Amino acid sequence: MSAAASVKIPPSSAELRVGGLARLSTCDWPGELVATVFCQGCPWNCAYCHNPHLRPAKGEPQMLWRDVFAFLESRRGLLDGLVFSGGEPTLQPALLDAVQAARSLGFRIGLHTAGMLPERLAPLLPWIDWVGFDVKAPFRVYSRITDVEQSGEQALTSLRLLLASGVPCEIRTTFHPALLTPADMLTLRDQLLLLGVTHYAVQRFRTAGARPDRLPPFPQGPQLSLPPDFGDSFQQFRVR
């Protein structure tokens, strides 16, 4: 019997569908040394997605959560925490049990989410130590990015829940110049400031992992042009 097979974990957490595991990451939770679990499944169809293989509810190859848990046991005291990323982690009912199982080993928990399921996010927040929250666009034009109507309403509800919870977080937006304009970015900035966002990052689109057939052509001119004072009203602002 393998070591992984002998690990005792909550039975319901074993249902977590895992599409991949980064055993060591310094970029998925700023300032922390973590492992990252990539959860399978996402109903949105963002053109610039760099993990499109995680969109289907079931993927190949797929890891067993018990094997991930066995790995975590071997890294107790060596890693600062565990990040659940995706795909969209909150899509899976087993996520809360998996989070609680990882916390039982002493790991702090980070979560990457786009906030598409506020009813799933709410019960998770008391168990989460940090959230990286993807805001796609000004909320009224969300479907331009996600291909899903009313997705902006779901994201806005989730963002309000997150900010009200007091859980430390970074709000971030991926900028593709054919999908968002500088005017869109100014509108979004003002929306975020009104909501009380303090930590914000703008991420330049990168082609790595993205599906070429889904990407609109890049327009001519500067790829990211923001006013010099764009981020001055945030407590922390980064472009990366």
The predicted-structure confidence for 73-106, as pLDDT tens digits, reads as follows: 999 999 999 999 999 999 999 999 999 999 999 9
In one-letter notation, the amino acid at residue 141 is V
The predicted-structure confidence for 157-194, as pLDDT tens digits, reads as follows: 999 999 999 999 999 999 998 899 999 999 999 999 99
State the Cα–Cα distance between residues 171 and 82, nearest whole angstrom.
19
What pLDDT was estimated at residue 69?
95
Confidence band, pLDDT 50/70/90 cuts, at residue 1: very low
Q: CATH says 15-239 is which class?
A: alpha beta
State the Cα–Cα distance between residues 46 and 25, nearest whole angstrom.
24
Confidence band, pLDDT 50/70/90 cuts, at residue 2: very low
Q: Residue 203: helix, strand or coil by DSSP? A: strand
Q: What does DSSP assign to residue 198?
A: -
Parse the chain into domains and list their residue ranges: 15-239
Looking only at the bridges linking them, the beta strands covering 236-239 and 18-25 are: unpaired
Q: What are the residues facing 238 on neighbouring strands?
A: 201
